[in-house]
Amino acid sequence: MPSRVPEGHERGWIIPIGGAENKENDRRILERFVRVSGGADADIVVIPTASRVHETGPRYEQLFKDLGAARVTVMDFDTRRDCREPGRWKRIEEASGIFFTGGNQLRLTTLLGGTPVAKLIRARNAQGVTVGGTSAGASILCEHMIAGGDEGSSIVAGSVRLAPGLGLTNRFIIDQHFRERDRLGRLLTAVAYNPFAVGIGLDEDTAAFIGPDEVVEVEGSGSVTLVDPSEVSFSSIGVVEDGQPACMLGLRVHMLVTGTTFNLQTRVASATALIEAKIESKE
């Protein structure tokens, strides 16, 4: 469960990224991550545990330094024993931003799940620290994590595998590489299993910046498919056999791009900033 926000604090930003974010030219997603993590004072810990590519951690370390972060540390976890080291806890307690790279989300959960480090990261986010991740590092952020599933656009019983995630929030469930890998069906199925959570499908080079006010702000070159089940009136997911299509009635779907928002509390989407930006560009 998400950690309780201490009195006098506000929850830090939660920033899932759909993967393949621009690292060369238009680095606005990573630039904004640094900005909300403290800007020139940003102290960032990069956790590349999901990846088995040795260069992943050092690459993000250099990227965040180039973008103006004051301090960046790569902290990998090869065993669950690593999660008990006081030196690692101290470094996470000092950080103003924590970033999970892509790779395999089950590698992350099997190494970090249920450890003091996972508990500390939840607590630090509740105290105001920014926590984000890309691809697999995005999937792990929520309480219910998509661990795998089938391609396609239909709700099909048994087409998605769920596992416990890091648990920063229980308000939404994330899928990434969304349009590129045809993942609408598995996100819809995941939402059908738990209609409390909002489904957020992130295209590549696209991020959801979710602030302390629980408003989703979109950043990047792609779109966010947002599935709101709050008005679902009927679902057959509990009675059909695995492999069979299921029915959901009353589902609401929003397609969000940069300049649009969605309030997770009121369930209201808005394009005000997008419209204002278009008007300004014509003046």
Catalytic residue flag (residue 153): no
- 41 close to 71: Cβ distance less than 8 angstroms: no
**Identity of residue 39:** G
**Identity of residue 2:** P
DSSP annotation of 142: B
Which residue in 37, 96, 135, 223 is the catalytic one?
A: 135
Which residue in 204, 219, 223, 254 is the catalytic one?
A: 204
Give the CA radius of gyration of the chain. Answer: 18
Which residue in 177, 217, 219, 223 is the catalytic one?
A: 177
Catalytic residue flag (residue 204): yes
Report CA-CA distances (Å) from 172 to 140, 155, 165, 280. Answer: 12, 18, 12, 33
Catalytic residue flag (residue 180): no
Please state the length of the chain: 283
| Pick from 42, 101, 113, 110: nearest CA to 75 | 101
Other C-beta atoms closer than 10 Å to the C-beta of 158 total 15
Residues labelled catalytic:
135, 177, 204
